[in-house]
Amino acid sequence: MNTLEKTDIQLGYIPLLDCAAILWAQHQGYFKAQGLNVTLVKEASWASLRDRLAFGILDAAHCLSAMLPAAATGDDQLGIPLQTSLVLSTNKAFISLSQKRCYELQISEQDTPKESAQKVAEAVNSGAKIQLAHVFKQSIHHYCLREWLALADAELARNYHLATLPPPYMVDAISAQLIDGFCVGEPWNIQAQIQGYSQVIADSKQIIPEVADKVLATTQEWAKQHPNTLKAIETAIQLAQQDLQTLQSLDDVWQMLVCSDVIRFNCSPWVHVDKFYKIQKIIRSFGVQDAVKSSDFEWIMQQMRKWDDLELGSDQIKIIAAQCTGNMI
């Protein structure tokens, strides 16, 4: 085994289902087996996680994929380059709307994304105040909401003000009627639906391509200084990913997510059964992921150019996308 440059590691995450491989790697002792002493740090928001990673308080983190090109272009206001070579999840977001709004606008689960977007757009254009939220400006969730609204009204999609809230606060916000809907990863859509506040009206897969959603990221400088340590971290997480895909039972993983305050509601083979198996299927999907692709980051930057008015040429996009994967053109 190559000598580790560093063994005491601070690894940040946000409580979402797609942090499961990181938590399971710790639970199973996979980090320890690689010679690492990992401390998992639950962050309150994507903004705090990004800042603590950029400034070296965290060594590595469960990150939104769009954070990487945002850092490379300086669109995150920090400009400290990040990189990844490990995907944690791919396009697993959903759009939820309050049950009250669904009733008022006659939106049903049978509606296509275009149909639901048209009903929301018509209401907004008629003067209704409908507040939608995403988890972070630099996220596929942001672009998913824009593209969804654009199915009905491109001008509305461009000018619509979207609120930003950390994933765990989405349920609190919709229960307090501070927002009318949101785009977020699980388990927060399911929790809000089980508690009677909202319903899922669209799957991100119906709206945007299959691109990386969450990745394991470090700063480029940290990766350069700690190549063996980074490989060890990734190896431990990949072992956990394989478990998520192949374990006959996910009972222990489920209990770990409950104890980690990721799953905060009663859901089992006897209660909210369909939601229980939906979550199980999602957890399984976090098994062995495809390799990181530059094309995912190219798509994200094309979205940044489209919706955030980022001025980048095609050649620049290709160079930055390659840098996000640790490859220098």
What residue segments make up the domains of the chain, in order of their start? Answer: 8-91+212-324, 93-206
The topology under which CATH files domain 8-91+212-324 is D-Maltodextrin-Binding Protein; domain 2 (3.40.190)
Nearest to 22 by CA among 201, 215, 196, 169: 215
pTM of the predicted model over 0.75: yes
CATH top-level class of 93-206? alpha beta
User: Tell me, what's the pLDDT at 79?
Assistant: 79
Predicted local distance difference test score (pLDDT) of residue 289: 78
Given CA atoms 256, 260, 261, 263 in this order, what sign does their dihedral have?
A: negative
181-225 pLDDT tens trace: 999 999 999 999 999 999 999 999 999 999 999 999 999 999 999
CA distances in angstroms from 286 to 2, 10, 82, 313, listed in the order given: 28, 22, 22, 33
* Common-topology check for domains 8-91+212-324 and 93-206: yes
pLDDT value at residue 326: 86
User: Which region among 28-32, 231-235, 313-317 has the lowest average model confidence (pLDDT)?
Assistant: 313-317
329, pLDDT greater than 60: no
pLDDT for 1 beyond 70: no
Condensed to tens digits (0 to 9), the pLDDT of residues 100-157 reads: 999 999 999 899 999 999 999 999 999 999 999 999 999 999 999 999 999 999 999 9
| pLDDT at position 78 | 80
For residue 141, what are the CA distances in angstroms to 90, 106, 273?
12, 24, 27
Mean pLDDT, residues 75-97: 92
3-state secondary structure of 38: strand
- Average per-residue pLDDT for the chain: 95
How open is the CA angle 319-325-329, to the nearest 5 degrees?
A: 30
Give tens-digit pLDDT for 273-288. Answer: 999 999 999 999 999 7
User: What single-letter DSSP state applies at residue 286?
Assistant: T
User: Using 50, 70 and 90 to split pLDDT, how confident is the model at 328?
Assistant: low
